[in-house]
Amino acid sequence: MPFYGRERSYIMRKTVCITGASRGIGKAAALKFAAEGYDLALSCVKNESALRETAAEAERLGSRTMLFVGDIGDPEACSRFFELIRGTFGRLDVLVCNAGISRHGLFQDMQPAEWDEMIRTNLSSVFYLSRLAVPMMLHRGGGKIITVSSVWGAAGASCETAYSAAKGGVNAFTKALAKELAPSNIQVNAVAPGTIDTEMNAFLDPEERAALEEEIPAGRFGTPAEAADLIYTLAESGPYLTGQIVTLSGGWQI
């Protein structure tokens, strides 16, 4: 359901759409863009109360917000989301495809429905959202599409076959779309985080976490704020930077 922020006076403010904005990297990105003067179109799949908390914090920073709760792996839900964006803001400058799921387990134990959900949520959603965003950006003469991938999209991870495949698809999609849209002044880049200290990695017990931190040259997990800073940097970068998969891993994956 949509939620509209308090009315204020806004002149030529940019708008960013961020999926998976109720927590983790998505929430941090929402607050970063809000602090930099953007208005926000935010979505999550089910945790409306957490999404409203993100919106409330962003509004205190001066942003208008519009919220959508729905499955962005569903093309019809994406269409409804973008109808609200057009009706509320009338423009879209930046799309951040952040929403995603992960699942640990042996390949032979994965069921077809679990594979389908992983691909639909982590990869197909990027197609659905970009397909809707591009016409709005063309109308304004340019824009930025930023996908959130993973180091496993390039390296692959044991017991995360479907996740790695989906993120590898995101990387290829990013590079291909960047080539196609470069003449139209739309830049497409990806952030590929390593281990970020979010709920997605909460399954690690203290010993596993310590062992993983020892493998990372920086000696620690990354923070959602660091990922958000990189996403914002790509959103504000010049038009010659496109088609890049930018790794953020503390030197762990290079």
Each residue's pLDDT tens digit, 177-210:
999 999 999 999 999 999 898 876 766 778 888 8
For 60-74, write each residue's pLDDT tens digit. 999 999 999 999 999
Is 254 domain-assigned? Answer: no
Strand order in the sheet with 65-69: 65-69, 39-44, 15-18, 94-97, 143-148, 186-193, 245-248
Of 38, 128, 163, 232, the catalytic one is 163
Is 5 domain-assigned? Answer: no
Cα(90)–Cα(46) distance, rounded to whole angstroms? 25
Is 221 domain-assigned? Answer: yes
- Supply the pLDDT for residue 9: 43
Is 253 domain-assigned? Answer: no
CATH number of residue 174's parent domain: 3.40.50.720
pTM of the model: 0.93
Strand 245-248 and strand 65-69: the pairing is: unpaired
**21, pLDDT greater than 60:** yes
Is 120 domain-assigned? Answer: yes
**Containing domain of residue 174, as a range?**
15-248
Instruction: Output phi, psi for 253, to 5 deg.
Output: -120, 120
Examine the residue annotation and report whether 163 is marked as an active-site residue of this protein: yes
Is 166 domain-assigned? Answer: yes
Closest CA to 145 of 196, 179, 102: 179
Q: How many domains does the chain have?
A: 1
User: pLDDT-derived band of residue 247, with 50, 70 and 90 as boundaries?
Assistant: very high
